[in-house]
Amino acid sequence: MGGTPKPVKNISLAEDYIHDHFPHYPMIPSSLVIEGMAQTGGLLVCEHNEFREKVVLAKIPKVTFYCDAIPGDTLTYTTTVEYIKEEGAMVTATSYKGDVLHAEAEIVFAHLNEPQLGSLFDTDMFLRMMRLLGAFDVGHAADGKPLCPPARLARTAGKKRRQRAASESTCRRQERRNQVMRRQWTQRRTF
């Protein structure tokens, strides 16, 4: 397996949801901490099968929060795979504020690989999101090398990108034609 990822979340007053959760007590909502742990665990489960499996959050049977996380705190999430089976996987996750245990959870994921389900996510969009979030800039593989997109995903995304570019080119041409026609129609009306 891919090891134990340790993403970091720096909590800042600049984040809008900090002020909206409890108006006079800025803190990160527990649901967002759970989401961070689930995303970390989901990526670890996906990595196990080189992103061949469609993985979705199925349930969170147990979660415990020991303290609040407020602006200025830095949370470090860790996840460990407990098991991976054909139908899904379970991870245990923790969130630490420095050396203090902030939260711990059990998170269950389901594999959705039935052909009738179709594609649940666009590969190109997933890779763009990972690049935008800087996952390939800050993440490291178990051997210490920088993270790289899995070759299988990069090939699939490249093919879809070329198809989308051809489609977008056709749409742009059609939009330019429509603009010309609107301009001509507007000019006729002004005389």
pLDDT tens digit sequence for 77-123? 999 999 998 888 999 999 999 999 999 999 999 887 654 444 555 66
β-bridge mates for residue 96, sequence order: 76, 101
The pLDDT value given to residue 1: 45
Specify the pLDDT at position 105.
Answer: 96
Q: Which residue has the higher pLDDT, 139 or 191?
A: 139
Displacement of CA 84 from its chain's centroid (Å) = 20
CB atoms within 10 A of CB 95: 26
pLDDT at 188: 66
Q: What is the mean pLDDT of residues 40-61?
A: 87
Contacting residues for 157 by C-beta, under 8 A, at least 6 apart: 123, 124, 126, 127, 149
Average pLDDT of span 43-47 = 88
pLDDT of residue 183: 74
Instruction: Give the angle subtended at the CA of 80 by the CAs of 78 and 86, to the nearest 5°.
Output: 140
Judged against a pLDDT cut of 80, whether residue 59 lies above it is answered with yes
Active-site residue identified among 21, 24, 111, 140: 21
Query: Which residues 6+ apart lie within 8 Å of 60 measured at CB?
Result: 34, 38, 105, 106, 107, 108
| DSSP summary character for residue 116 | G
152-175: per-residue pLDDT in tens? 666 665 565 665 666 666 666 767
Q: What is the pLDDT of residue 154?
A: 66
pLDDT at residue 174, as a whole number: 67
Q: Which residues contact 29 (CB under 8 A, 6 or more apart)?
A: 17, 21
Answer yes or no: are the C-beta atoms of 13 and 71 closer than 8 Å: yes
* Confidence (pLDDT) at 2: 52
Question: Is 140 one of the annotated active-site residues of the chain?
Answer: no
